[in-house]
Structure 1
């Protein structure tokens, strides 16, 4: 197993890959980002709670370990704004979650 210098940029890590036309997955998914931040405009707090429950359910379906969820609901002129951060145990789970939200 090769030891990779964590101080290198993604471009430098990719250049270190010995195979042609190939990128080491560790060059892209290095677990430096494991948190998704989501926002939603909702009619009221009940609707915001429903949206949050949907995000939590989707995250739980993907995650191998419990997802840490922090959220806040702020009143706006149109209703409420939900802001939530979901922290996964690894970047791959975050990526799968983000792709599912598109």
Structure 2
């Protein structure tokens, strides 16, 4: 038979299959980007809390260093019966607050 009369099966993907694959790819990438953003915000929040408590722990020491710029520290100290109570309220630049007290007796 002549070559023009034989049926030839084309190989490859149809346009419909390619479009469906692109839509699925876009949905998966969007979901992964949302998941990444959620993880990033969670990590940042956890870091801020850890930083807040680290600075608060430094500030309840009798000889505390000044806090980093942007951080607010309110410190109170009372003394009774040979014991010193130091209370600290630390506020982060983002507005998170932490309160810590320490009692020292000699």
| TM score, norm. by length of structure 2 | 0.35
Is the helix fraction higher in 1 or 2?
A: 2
Which is bigger in relative contact order (C-alpha 8 A, separation at least 6)?
1
Point out the structure with max Rg over C-alpha: 2
| TM score, norm. by length of structure 1 | 0.36
